[in-house]
Every structure is written in C-alpha cells, then in structure tokens.
Structure 1
Amino acid sequence: MMVKAWKLPALRVASDEMLHLDLLRFIASVGIVVRHSFEFFYPAATRPTLPSGLALFVDLFFVISGFVIAHVYLGKVGTLSEYGTFLQRRVGRLMPLHWLTLAASIIVWSGFVALGKAGNHQPSFEARCIAETALLLNAMLVCGNGISFSSVSWSIGAEMVMYLMFPLFAWAAVRSRLGLLATASLALVAMIVFDLSQNAIDRSWVDVWPPFRALPSFMIGICLFYFRDGIQIPAPGRMLLLAKTLLLISMITHTHHLISLGLVYIVAVTAVAADRAVAPALVKRLAPLGQLTYSIYMWHSLVILIVMNAIADKLFQVSPGVMVVFCMVSWLIIFAVSYFSYFVIETPARRYIDGLGGAKKRRVTAVVVSKNERLGGQTS
C-alpha cells in the first residue's frame, strides 16, 4: 500500500496585479534581516558607526502598505460599520503575531536575566511598558529605560496609526486626487524640515517620530494607486532594476538618508509601472514570497538575538569566518519559522478574528489568497 507524500502548503500571491510590489516586500524584509545580522561581523565598538541605510526599507513597507490598502479598501470605509470591519481585519492581520512574538521575547529575556546574561540592553520589565508594547504604543511613547520587548513592533504601531487615519485619506482622495497628492508632498516636506531641524547628523531619518515617519510614505502609496494608470516609464522592468541597484548602493554606504528615501520612492514608482506590464517568469515565481514579509519581520530579531548575539557573539565570541555559519543558520531558522508561522499561526488566527462579531467567516485557503488581507507594512 502506497503512502501519499505529505506536501507543504504553497505560497500564493494575493493578486496578479502587484507581482513586483510583492517581490519588493520580500526583498525589503530580507534587507532588514541583513541589517540586523551583519553588525555581528564587526567589533562591538564599531557597530554604531556602520551605515544604517538599510533601515529605510521600512519606508518602502509604508509606501507599499498605502498602495495595497488603497487598492483593497478605498470606497469601503465610508460608514462606521465598514470602518469597524476594516479595523477588525487589520487587527486580525497584525496583532496575533505581535502578541506571540512579544510573549516569546519576554520569555527569552527572562532566561537571560535568570542566567545573569542580560547585559546593558535589557528591555524594561515594567508592567506599564509591557502593556504599552502590547497595544503598539511603544511607537509613540517612551517608557522605563526606553528599550522595549519586540522592538521591531515600533513600525507596526506607526502602521496602525495610518490605518486609523485611512478614512480621512480616502475622503480626501474622493474630494480631490491632486489635493491628496499635494497634501502628501507637503507632509513629506514638513517631515524633512522637522528631521533636519531636530537631528543634526546626516543619517537621521530613522530618528523621526514613527507616525511622522510613516505619514508621507503611506500617503504617497495611496497616491501611487490613484495615479498608477498615468505612470508611463520606458522599459519599467529595467528601470526598476536600476533603481533598486542605486537604492542598495546608497543604503550600504554613508549616503544621506534623505537621498536614500528619495530612491525608495523612485523604486516604488517604477515597481508600480512595472506591474502595468507582463511580469517576467522569475518575478512570477518569486512574488509569492512576499506573503512571508510580516512573519520574517516579526521573528527575525528574536532569532538573531538568540543565535548570533547570545550564542555566537557573547557565549563563544566566534571569529567573523565562523559567524558566517551562524548567520546562515539564523536565516534558515527565520525562513522556516516564518513559513510555519504564516500557515499554522497567523492565518487561522486571522480567520478567527475576522469571524468575530457576526462577520462572515472565510476558509483558511481563501484567507491565504484573498487580496483583501494583504500587508504592506512592516518595519527595522
């Protein structure tokens, strides 16, 4: 008697209309992982001086998030009931994994404290600080020693602020698309002026208050959706590759953050243009990986903390050559945990929360492929 081979569930894109954007989300998540892992190849004293441009991949998340949310929900948040359903689905997409990784982070750090290995960067165990992090308020408030568990969740908090404001953006878009574009441009200029006035260093954009940092990029994403049909770029696929190359160069060198931010927007524009044409076979094959973006983003820092920081760097103090092995192991664990998390934890949890309060329940497979539940956001 033959036994059927067990097959892993396949990742699927939510829509064939945004294949380049899907792939960009995955690339951005990998960029954040690289940023947080490669610092361990350098002595601790030199790490603060390393280029920090890869952190601006979070701003690419914000742009894509604005585009995707506009694609799915514009015209569907006009009543309190629709707005409530919108927020319920956003909570279902973001909060279960946020709470799970927060709990896991608390457990891991508790172990470090018990072993006397917490060091000087121990997150605050104050109940108020943990509660604020659980509610994603750590993006807006500073509590205790200023270090919170699940530190990457700051960008998720900024995303939630954008979701709360989305009906306002949708209303503005209906009134005047050009007006929304002008408002987004003014918001960007205002944030740049604020950044330059508050932060004296060249690479300072990452220090902008998270909701202020997310605002112009999220609004630009919405505008890109509205004006997508008018974006005409010759050979958009090649231009996208060129823009991504220039962006990466700027990120890994000591280039002013505002230049890299401008390149982030150029990459997003060319990706939207590329999605208006037929996607190459390679893009079609890799685009489903974009579904793992949020999982990778939320799990990576915890895996790197344990494998590269605690074990390789602190416990064994390995050489850069051996650290490569620990880095590869970390990346494999991150991908495996993210894949498992997406199908076994996030999707069922999202299905359950979506069905609360009499909302129409959907099958897990429908949730996986539904374009109504995509996430642009995430975050360094």
Structure 2
Amino acid sequence: MEKQRYTNLDAFRGLAALLVLLFHSPFFYGHKTTFIFNSDIFVDFFFILSGFVIAHAYKSKIDSLNFQAYMQNRFARIYPLHLALLLAWLVFLSLKHLLYTQLNLGNTDPLINNDFTSFFLNLFLLNAHNLDDQLTWNAPSWSIGAEFYTYLLFFVVSKSIKAKNLLQWSVFLIVLAYTTLYILKPITLLRTFDLGFIRAIGGFFLGVSVFIIKEKTELNYSSKLKVSIIEVVLLLAVISCITILAKYKLGQLTTFLVFTLSIYYFSASNGVISTLLKTKTMQYLGKISYSIYLTHFLIINIIINIWQYFFAKKGLSINIPLADIYNTSAAPFLNTAIILITCLISAITYKFIEQPFQQKLSAKRVVK
C-alpha cells in the first residue's frame, strides 16, 4: 500500500524554496523586508520536514531495511540534480574565467575560490563539514551535503537501537547538535560550510521526533473554523518569529520549534489555508521545489552579471557599493522575473533530470 502523502507540507516546501530564492536575490527597492532578509532560516524548515518525511517512509520497516537500497534511494533522490547543477556551475564559472583573463571583464577570477579542491568537496557532498573556509560553486547545495550524511546517521541510529527508543535518541541528538552550535558559534546557529552537518542533524531529528509524537497522538480536526483559526495563528507565528527573532540564537531555536509545531499541525489539517495549499498550482510548486532550490542561485548570478554589465554600459563603475547597484525601482520586476525563470527551468529539470534519474537509479526493493 502506498504511504500517505502530506500534501499541505509539499506545498509549504515550494513556498519555502521561493523564500530562500528571495533571500539570495540582491535586488531590492528602498530596503529589503526583515522577513525576506531572515528567510535563510527556511533551510531549517527543509531539514525538519525531511526528518518528518523520512521517518514516515522508513521508521516502520527499519528492522528489515537494506542499507544499500536505502542509501541508493536517497542518492537517486538528491544527487543527479546536484551533479547537473555542479557541472552547470563549472561551465558558467569557466566562461567567466575566460572573460576575465581574455577580455578583462569582471573584478576577480571566479576560479580562485571555486578551485579544484572545493569542486571535489562539492562533488562528494562534503561541502558542509568544515573542510573549506567558505561557500563555493552552487552555494545552496551545502544543505544537500549536510542532509545526505544525515540520512546515513538516521539509518545507523535506527538500526542500532530498538524502535521504541528512537524518540529518546532523537531528542538526545537534537540537544547535542544545538548545544554544540550554541557553544561553538557565539552569534548564530545558522551555520553552512563549517557546521552545516551539525545544523542538519538538529533539524532532521526534530522532524523525526515530531513524526513519532504524531503517531502517538490524534488531533481533533472536526471544526473547520477552529482548524482555520489555528492555521492562521501558526502562520502568523512563523512570520513573527522570522521577522523578530531569527537573527538571534534563542530566537532561532524558538523559530525551529514553531516550524516543528506547524509541520505537526498542518500534516493533517483541513482548514482554509490547507484548502489553498492543496490547489494544483501549490502542489506543483511543491513538486518542483527541490529544483527551485538548486537552480535558483545560478539564475540569480546570471541576472546579476547582466545587471552589472548594464551599469558598465551606462558608464557607471561596478565598483560602487553593491547596495547602490541593486537598490533599484526595477527590483520588483527583476525578482518576479527571477521567480518565473527559476520555476520554468525547474519544471524542465524536474521532468528531464529529477524524475527519469530517480526512476532509473532507485532500488527496486528497500527491504530484505
């Protein structure tokens, strides 16, 4: 029997991917809203949701789960598109390198930081393990590297303990991960290339924990008015946390908990917000969300280069402060264009890379 799909959460994944896109876009008019400025924290929403979904898919059959098949399926889900985008970045930065060396276009050689060593780390999904000193190549893919090895940790932990102890071990790993980040990094828990793997462990096992709790509890969704009110309150809580608290460590922990509570409630809710999330557009957005997440940074960088060239053609130095370059009345148009182009490209990569390679590479059986 096919497992239940959490359609509300699928749609949220798409919205979160677009908010990360807007976080990475440099274009704004007057000022970038605090909510968008802090939206990098939605990566933690992905981690928590991933833990929830993986626990849903594998917890009940972990005793008979085959390691090779399990990791093969996880690899088939995330790696083909990651590799395709990494190669696309190789082409893009190689062209920029030629333009810099041959025509003196650009301020720096893009291959200085994006070198062979960093390419190797990205290729083997080791770009979130403190093996480099900055984000390189397709920068958002650090979270893919962090998540892949978190899949491995989930298998090891689940196989090593009794199923009834998974919640306790998940809580232990959550506390260990966030305590480590809290102690080692004095300003923010939102680590990437350095301690991104630790950050992913905390979020992922939050998701595992909330799935286990959900299995043991049952909420009353009979009153649509009451459900709708709670949905609105949760969304307002998410927006408020990100706007007010997300730049501070305790505020980030609070935001993670609100994410977790939202996933718990929306996984089965049927209020007005859920009705909107179940529309075809929102569901398709969720379907291509992984492509949106991995493709958007390249698209943004291409548009940035075009924009900078436009300024140079007008006789304006591209060495002026970036805020002066990207603070433009055209920002709403540019950001809308970035979203539309990214969604279009993502629909293509989903159809021709994600789907076929996942079908081709996935294991036929995941249990012994």
TM-score, with normalisation over the residues of structure 1?
Answer: 0.78
Give the 3-state SS of the residue equivalent to 1:76 in structure 2.
Answer: helix
Mapping of 1:34-183 within 5 angstroms? Answer: 34-37=22-25, 39-41=26-28, 52-78=37-63, 82-116=66-100, 117-120=105-108, 122=110, 124-143=113-132, 146-171=134-159, 174-176=162-164, 179-183=165-169
8 Å contact kept, 2:178–2:189:
no
Q: Distance in 1 between matches of 2:334 and 2:122?
A: 29
**Superimposed CA distance per residue, residues 108-135 of structure 1 (whole angstroms, 9 cap, x where no aligned partner):** 1112222224545835343232122111
Q: Which residue of 1 aligns with 2:283?
A: 287
Q: Which residue of 1 aligns with 2:200?
A: 214
Mapping of 1:1-380 within 5 angstroms? Answer: 17-37=5-25, 39-41=26-28, 52-78=37-63, 82-116=66-100, 117-120=105-108, 122=110, 124-143=113-132, 146-171=134-159, 174-176=162-164, 179-201=165-187, 203-206=188-191, 209-229=195-215, 230=217, 232=219, 235-253=226-244, 255=246, 256-278=248-270, 280-285=274-279, 286-307=282-303, 309-313=304-308, 315-316=310-311, 317=325, 320-354=328-362, 359=364
**CA shift for structure 1 position 171:** 3.6
The residue type paired with residue 64 of structure 1 is L
The residue type paired with residue 58 of structure 1 is V
**CA shift for structure 1 position 86:** 1.1
**CA shift for structure 1 position 301:** 0.4
Q: Distance in 1 between matches of 2:266 and 2:135?
A: 40
**CA shift for structure 1 position 221:** 0.9
Number of matched pairs: 335
The residue type paired with residue 62 of structure 1 is F
Q: 1:223 to 1:169 in 2, by over 3 A?
A: farther
The residue type paired with residue 323 of structure 1 is A
Q: 1:287 to 1:336 in 2, by over 3 A?
A: same
Give the 3-state SS of the residue equivalent to 1:320 in structure 2.
Answer: coil
**Superimposed CA distance per residue, residues 223-278 of structure 1 (whole angstroms, 9 cap, x where no aligned partner):** 22222141537744432332222322332446424324423332332332233343
Runs (4 or more) in structure 1 with deviation over 4 Å come to 14-17, 49-52
Q: 1:62 to 1:237 in 2, by over 3 A?
A: farther
8 Å contact kept, 2:47–2:200:
yes
8 Å contact kept, 1:62–1:159:
yes
The residue type paired with residue 91 of structure 2 is I
**CA shift for structure 1 position 209:** 0.4
Q: Distance in 1 between matches of 2:249 and 2:234?
A: 16
Q: 1:269 to 1:287 in 2, by over 3 A?
A: farther
Higher deviation after alignment, 312-321 or 335-344: 312-321
The residue type paired with residue 76 of structure 1 is K
The residue type paired with residue 239 of structure 1 is I
Q: For the aligned residues, what is the CA RMSD?
A: 3.0
Q: Distance in 2 between matches of 1:318 and 1:53?
A: 18
TM-score, with normalisation over the residues of structure 2?
Answer: 0.80
8 Å contact kept, 2:206–2:260:
no
Q: Distance in 2 between matches of 1:335 and 1:135?
A: 27
Q: Distance in 2 between matches of 1:346 and 1:79?
A: 27
Q: 1:246 to 1:142 in 2, by over 3 A?
A: same
Q: Which residue of 2 aligns with 1:366?
A: none
The residue type paired with residue 112 of structure 1 is K
Q: Distance in 1 between matches of 2:56 and 2:338?
A: 35
For structure 1, the residue ranges without an aligned partner over 5 or more in a row are: 1-13, 361-371, 373-380
**CA shift for structure 1 position 212:** 0.7
8 Å contact kept, 2:143–2:196:
yes
Give the 3-state SS of the residue equivalent to 1:206 in structure 2.
Answer: coil
Q: 1:323 to 1:69 in 2, by over 3 A?
A: same
Give the 3-state SS of the residue equivalent to 1:138 in structure 2.
Answer: coil
**Superimposed CA distance per residue, residues 42-90 of structure 1 (whole angstroms, 9 cap, x where no aligned partner):** 79xx99x99853111111101111111111112434357x221111111
Q: Distance in 2 between matches of 1:34 and 1:62?
A: 19
For structure 2, the residue ranges without an aligned partner over 5 or more in a row are: 312-324
8 Å contact kept, 1:236–1:270:
no
Q: Percent identity?
A: 24
